[in-house]
Structure formats: structure tokens, C-alpha cells
Amino acid sequence: MDEKTFDDLVSGRKSGVVAAGTRLCFLGLSWLYRIGVAARNTAFDIGLKQILRADVPVISVGNITTGGTGKTPVVAWLANWIADQDIRVGILSRGYKAVDGSFNDEKMVLDALCPGIPHLQSPNRVAAAKRAVQEHQCQLLILDDGFQHRRLSRSLDIVLIDCMNPFGYERLLPRGKLREPISSVRRADLVILTRADQISPADRENLQQRLIRGGYRGDCVAVAFQPQRLINVAGESTDLDTIRHRKALAFCGIGNPHSFEALLKSMSVKFTEFRVFPDHHHYESADFETLDQEVSRSDAELIVTTQKDLVKINQKTIGSRPLWAVQIGAKILTHREELERTLQNVLPASL
């Protein structure tokens, strides 16, 4: 089942007897999933499962839902901020959906956004942490997508909550998109509300109150994702005005395609079609042929995608139309001082 079909099912947008029956089955499975999550967390809490400590501070960045919450631009902001403090920082990630031993799309994007910062990918992130310290002399590590990876101890636990769908339709997998119960936010040292500019201040306050009821006691840092420029595979860049008020075919294969669609609309892009591929999709020649056919049938002047998709595509054009990607950056809207103070508290004490 692809992400769109799954999302339509668990959100209730897909109706009918089969959809209702599937949701009922998912509900039963979600209770088994809940038991498994609770047992695993309890095992770590009481010491039945061992938590291992790295030789340097570790900052975990994760979430409690599946899908795109904006970890990549937040991790990039954190890594660059720490590097600016003259700290040798490294990034650890699992390497989800990498193909044939290569790097996955998130690493390729972070390598572009964080030049010179080592990024190690391995399912064994404890071993990767040791390598980062021994081979790259890292003084601090960022654990990407680490909230559920409790085997590696962390000095700071950051949880991202996407304001557009904060609690995954209020149900655990597979009936909803929650990876853990909402009450798990009590483990977080800091919550960052992503896409906070896309909801009203009143809705943001209601969201924060819900987190407090779930057990969270800290501040909520509000973050927006803003387009910076357009880039292509040749390393060229151009102003965002290149696509404003122009007809474009758009496509993406990310965890939250609706956010990219909303971004393009906010930039006044008049896309002739918006094509969604599965998250972490690896593009093949058949995909480009399909896109080329769709462009030929439309009057699109160009093609636009995300940077996460562009790093897996080795061509400047599709058919006769130029291919551009929108590069995104994180902007801190509220509580920046609290965020920086919290980060300062975990920097290596000797520096």
C-alpha cells in the first residue's frame, strides 16, 4: 500500500465497505502495536534493555508520527549552528531506503546543506557513534530520527510536531500515523513545532496545551520552512521569481507531499499537474518518460520538485523543460533564545 492510499484510509477520506473494514482491521492491529511499544519502552525504562552512552554529547531529533515533519531542514539548522560554535559536529542516521549500499536521499541533501559536516549512516547507530568520534574526531553528535532509537543515550531529546497534522489522526499505527502514544512527549526535553506559520496563533496555543496534557512541560519552539532559491543538478541556482506566476509540472516523493503543494501555491506557481511518488522513491527511466509525456500534454513551461528528489536525478531537463528544485531553510519564529540556551547547555563543557 502506498503512502497516499494509506493516508486516505486512516484519515477517513476513503469511504466504502472495504475501506471501513480495512480500518477496523487496522484498529485491532494498532492495539497489538500499542502493547509492543509499551513493552519496549518499559524495558528501557527499568533497565531490561541496555542504554549505551557515547563518548560525546548526543542530540536526538525525532518525532512521534510517520511521514515528513521537516527533520532534514531542522537537523541542517542545528548542525550548522553547532559548527558555528567551533564544535566538531557529526550526524548519525539509519540510512532508510538506501539502495545497494549507497547513501539515501536525506544524507545527500544534508551533505549539500551542511558542507564539511560528517554524516554516518548505519542501522547500528551505537557503532556509528564510536566511528564518528574515533575516525572523524566529532565532539558532538546529532542522532537523526532518533526518538524511538533508545539504545543510544542522548543529552538532549528534541521532538518535532508538524502543525499540519500533529498527532497522525489521533491513532497509533496502522490505524493512524502515531509511532508512539501522544503521552510519549513527556520524554522530550524540547518540542519544535514545524510549519507553525501555517496555523493561527490560537491553534498553535491549543496544540501546546494538548502537549502539556500529554505530559510535556517545556517550551515549544515554532519553526517555519521557507524557500531560499531554486537549484539544479549542475549546481546552478536562480531566484525564486523564476517560477512565480509560471505554469509548471510539479512532482515529489516525500513523506508530506501536501506541504510541498502548499508551498508552491504560496509562491504563486501555476502547476499544470502535481504528481506524487512514494516517499524515498528512486527514479527510473520509466518515471522520466511518464513525466515527459505529461509535460508534452500540458503547456507547462518548466518542471519543479524538491531538493530531496533532485539529489536522485542526474539531468537538468525532462524532455525539453528545465528541471528546478526548491531549496528550503528552517526559520525560527519563536523561542530562539531558549533554543540556543538549551543547545549551549549540551555543548562539550571543556570548550
What is the tally of helices (H) and strands (E) in the chain? 10, 13
144-169 pLDDT tens trace: 999 999 999 999 999 999 999 999 99
Q: What is the pLDDT of residue 78?
A: 98
Domain with CATH 3.40.50.300 in the chain: 58-219+335-344
Q: Taking 80 as the threshold, does the pLDDT of residue 8 lie above it?
A: yes
Is the pTM higher than 0.85? yes
Q: Over range 129-155, report the average pLDDT.
A: 97
The three cell numbers locating residue 255: 513523506
Q: What is the CATH number of domain 58-219+335-344?
A: 3.40.50.300
Spacing of C-alpha 16 from chain mean position:
32
226-329 CATH: 3.40.50
pLDDT classification of 97: cutoffs 50, 70, 90: low
Give CA–CA dist 288/267, Å, rounded.
25
Does residue 351 surpass a pLDDT of 60? Answer: no
Instruction: Return the minimum-mean-pLDDT range out of 66-80, 126-140, 198-212, 337-351.
Output: 337-351
What is residue 102's predicted lDDT score, i.e. its pLDDT? 66
Mean pLDDT of the chain: 94
Cα angle 247, 253, 256 (rounded to 5 degrees) comes to 90
**Distance (Å, whole) CA 298 – CA 247:** 9
* Span 29-48, pLDDT tens digits: 999 999 999 999 999 999 99
CA dist 321 and 225 (Å) reads 27
The upper half-sphere exposure of residue 129, i.e. CA atoms within 13 Å in the direction of its Cβ, equals 22
pLDDT at 40: 97
